[in-house]
Amino acid sequence: MGVPAWVWFVVAFVALVAGALFLMRDRARLTSRNRERRRWAALRGWQFAESDPVLPGQWNGGAIAYYGDGVARDVVAGSTFTADGRRKVYVFDLEAGGRVNTVISAVQCKRVHPVVVELWVPSTPFQREHMPELLGPVGQRYAFVSDIAAARALITPDLVDATEDIGQDVAVAWIENGWVLAASAPNSSPSRLERLLRGLGEIADVVDPFDAEIDPAGEVEVRGGHEE
């Protein structure tokens, strides 16, 4: 005997209601994160933007390569102090494939290093189609680099110590195109992101000390930066 039509109607109705509830929950969560990020930016005197479709395209490594460049959502742009002085920063949700996969935090260096260095925690499924070359363990992380010789000169004991301080909840930290970046969980709070920016600032101070000579051609212009 076949299933009565009213049973299929009930099943379809329940599925529709469940889908609507999930959508409302996700939308409420996104709206809450938007307000939280906006308040944080205002408190710090930084700039806020709902979205930026171009920003993630500045980078090709780390979490950008893993998830795809996508669109930057709830973007905070500003500057912060490190031990070596003031540096530009970005924080944004990376939306790819219609969902927010991670939060990207970025701190600018004064020069562009001729190598991409990705530092992944072992528990992360970091494999992708075109991985950089495996250099080996760096502290509690694995280093994948675009140039082994150049990376060896960059990875010092001070860099290892600074990287250890950013926390195992950060899946990957990487150096690329004049920036030090990291990917954290989508629900990362402003307080956690503040700590992460400080950690990235320490890494930037190690690989990019202000008292070193700077090649003007290596400087990077920042869109949307705002002085405190």
Range of the domain at 162: 5-218
- What does the block give as tokens for 94? 């990376």
CA distances from 203 to 35, 106, 151, 162, 213 (A): 30, 11, 14, 6, 18
- What does the block give as tokens for 111? 């020069």
Helix/strand/coil for 19: helix
Q: Among 103-107, 188-192, 200-204, 219-223, name the one with the lowest average pLDDT.
A: 219-223
Q: Is residue 42 part of a domain?
A: yes
Q: How many CA atoms lie within 13 A of 208 on its CB side?
A: 27
Distance of alpha carbon 79 from alpha carbon 113, whole angstroms = 21
Q: Is residue 223 part of a domain?
A: no
Distance of alpha carbon 107 from alpha carbon 141, whole angstroms = 20
Estimate the crossing angle of helix 190-207 against helix 157-164, to 10 degrees. 180
Q: How many CA atoms lie within 13 A of 109 on its CB side?
A: 28
Distance of CA 183 to the CA centre of its chain: 4
Q: Is residue 225 part of a domain?
A: no
Q: Is residue 66 part of a domain?
A: yes
pTM of the model: 0.78
Number of domains making up the chain: 1
Q: Is residue 102 part of a domain?
A: yes
Q: Is residue 224 part of a domain?
A: no
Q: Is residue 213 part of a domain?
A: yes
Q: Is residue 35 part of a domain?
A: yes
- pLDDT one-digit tens code per residue, 185-212: 998 999 999 999 999 999 999 999 876 5
At 124 the pLDDT is 82
Distance of alpha carbon 77 from alpha carbon 89, whole angstroms = 6
Q: What is the CA radius of gyration of the chain?
A: 20
Give residue 2's pLDDT band: very low, low, confident or very high (50, 70, 90): low
Estimate the crossing angle of helix 190-207 against helix 5-44, to 10 degrees. 60
- pLDDT one-digit tens code per residue, 84-102: 889 999 999 999 988 999 9
